[in-house]
Chain A
């Protein structure tokens, strides 16, 4: 069963618009980690954020922000004032101790296309 669901396959926006990427996860563990990675056209996965299950504070880093809600098992990612360089595939991932720490279970990814 898919443990990480990214329901949006592709999102297209015009530059300077905000874009929110949804991520819903499934786990029985009380301790786990959630991640977001960016995969630009070059193909290399770039680490964006790691959040542990005990830290529900929202986080902001520049134009990026993350909203973690355990009650709905969601870890959503917002890009504010999008730029063409934000065009990439974004992956949400889960790491659980009952599986093996370090093993990342990725969602299918959301393609973001930002046009000028």
Chain B
């Protein structure tokens, strides 16, 4: 069974630029999550989707971050404009409803 796919794996941008990350969850998983992991910390949930709908986006900085999940499968997370403090690893995870989450390899973002 294929795991959670993410791209790109690495991205370097300058502050005020925009960037987008893509995630393809495990087939059949209704729930998809985006986490931000700053170096030395545990992951922090940014947004949770169930199928097409948003379940929780309380910790998403909506003035610069946006996310969508079209057709209840793939998802994109966008940052516009990026700030230095957005440097982190962005992890995508998926799960069956109320089940354990499986994580992708992450995208390491560096903002200079």
Contact (A108, B95) CB under 8 Å given A44-B103, A100-B56, A102-B48: no
A4 to chain B: closest residue by CB: B42
Size category of the binding interface on chain A: 20 to 34
In contact, B42 and A107 (Cβ under 8 angstroms): yes
A106 interface neighbour in B44, B89, B102, Cβ under 8 Å: B44
Size category of the binding interface on chain B: 20 to 34
Majority secondary structure, A binding face: loop
In contact, A102 and B95 (Cβ under 8 angstroms): yes
Q: Using Cβ atoms and an 8 Å threshold, which residues of chain B touch A45?
A: 43, 91, 93, 103
In contact, A103 and B98 (Cβ under 8 angstroms): no
In contact, B100 and A50 (Cβ under 8 angstroms): yes
Residues of A within 8 A of B (CB): 4, 35, 37, 42-47, 50, 91, 93, 99-109
Residues of B within 8 A of A (CB): 31, 33, 35, 40-45, 48, 55-56, 89, 91, 93, 95, 97-98, 100-106, 108
